[in-house]
Amino acid sequence: MDLSYYMEQAFREAIKAYEKKEVPVGAVVFDVDGHVIGKGYNQVEELTDATAHAEMIALTSAMATLGSKYLIDCTLAVTLEPCPMCAGAIVNAKVGRLVFGAYDPKMGACGTVMNIPASPELNHQPEVYGGILEHKAQSLLQEFFRGLRG
């Protein structure tokens, strides 16, 4: 399956966050057959919870769907490079593949500021593909933050 397909699904979730005035990040988890088994969007403001990132919500949803704490054969698509908290959750959940859109120069923990998923000291290293539909992800984030400043 084309990696941009996964990202398009994540963008649908990011738009939900944007419409609720949350930082527009969306995430979707796919099983090995390409079926959506979990999805989420940022809900930090709505839930007053610093851990309510799109990835965390999508991972929790996928684990509940599968009835397993591990997502070994699954793909997580997220519109922004995961932060250290989310990257740690991705490793702990043993996600098979991570696909993300925009790189995050301030908090990116999948290759930009640090690279948690590639750490050989950890017990799992998912495949990571960054920069998928990067311009689209960056544009949505820039539009959101322009609106806050404007």
Catalytic residues: 55
Question: Three-state SS for 35?
Answer: coil
For residue 46, give both structure tokens. 């709505």
CA distance 77 to 93: 14
Buried b (16+ CB within 10 A) or exposed e, 51-70: ebbbbbbbbebbbeebeeee
